[in-house]
Chain A
Amino acid sequence: MSTQPRTVVITGGSKGLGAGIVQSFLDSGDRVATCSRSATPLTKEWESDPALADRFLFIEADISDREQSTAFVKAVIDRWGAVDVLVNNAGVARDGILALFSDEDSDTVIDLNLKATIHLTRQVVRSMLTKRSGRIVNISSITGLTGYRGLTVYGATKAALDGFTRGLAREVGSRKITVNSIASGYLKTEMSHGLDGGQLDQIVRRTPAGRLGEPDDIARAVQFLVDDRNDWLTGQVLVIDGGLTC
């Protein structure tokens, strides 16, 4: 458990990897705010848990809508004063080869994975600048490093996110704000449901660790990156993929 509860904002925390990260920070005694387009049984469970009454905030918000994104960040700051940790997890994947990909799907993926992340981070980093401290983790993907057939646009947004990480780390490093990416491998979450059984079997065969990842594999790495003591680790892309890309 942390010595002092931190205020942690995790986008897209209602299910899958995001929910795993939310649970990790609730377990470490922190205050957690998350958002997604709609509530899930899990967010309702957290909201109704008396033990989390002062430590969990869920707001229905589509952060690719800038007004909703702004309202979400404002609600967190109004409630808890400032943001200590931001985990940019919200993302969407649309699979299909580029030659058959629709402009609408491209817009959906870029709007959420990249533009919404930049907009929300800009608001949070202003809060972090006023107190001159903060931790930002962007959930990226190995598809942004290696490419993956059928995930061209998704991979492009994740590669861009890694570039965003490095640029922002340089901008705010002098203010004790660290910015890092986690390039996640393939997890057992809904995000990998676009891959068929054959593709998943192939991924497992090629993964030295011999399995798909679990949300907690990533959550532990997030906790490491946001540890107060890790103030000399910034601008990096940490690959957590069971060794698939080694």
Chain B
Amino acid sequence: MTDFQGSILSIVTTLLERSDKGDLTVALDTAIHGDGLGLDSLETAELSAMLEDEFGTDPFGAGLMPETVGEIVDFYTEGEASVPA
């Protein structure tokens, strides 16, 4: 697991615990919405803000709409953002 993967999984897990969804299992192929994590729009906004706090940018703020946790990781690892090393 890369540092990015670990950090992002940790952020998502923290958000789920705060939302009383701590029993959900998070993996890279887990869907963010619907039958996956089931994040609503406000929880998605929280995730967006938490990612921005950690990395200085976030995929939602960049106009993207990742569908899985792995796609969030891809946003940072594919160099689409200026992420601190």
Contacts and interface: CB of A to CB of B under 8 A. Distances in A.
Tell me if A's interface is mostly helix, strand, loop or mixed.
Answer: helix
A171 B41 CA distance: 10
Q: How large is the interface on A (under 10, 10 to 19, 20 to 34, 35 or more residues)?
A: under 10
B11 to A, nearest CB: 10
A127 B42 contact: no
Interface residues of B, number: 9
A172 B49 contact: no
A132 B17 CA distance: 13
Contacts of B50: 130
B18 A126 contact: no
Tell me if B's interface is mostly helix, strand, loop or mixed.
Answer: helix
Given A171-B42, A174-B42, A175-B42, A129 B49 contact: yes
Contacts of B52: 126
Interface in A6-59: none
A244 to B, nearest CB: 38
Nearest to A122: B45
Interface in B4-46: 18, 42, 45-46
Interface string A156-194: 000000000000000110110000000000000000000
15 contacts: A126-B45, A126-B48, A126-B49, A126-B52, A129-B42, A129-B45, A129-B46, A129-B49, A130-B49, A130-B50, A130-B53, A132-B18, A132-B46, A175-B42, A175-B46
Interface of A: 126-127, 129-130, 132, 171-172, 174-175
Interface of B: 18, 42, 45-46, 48-50, 52-53
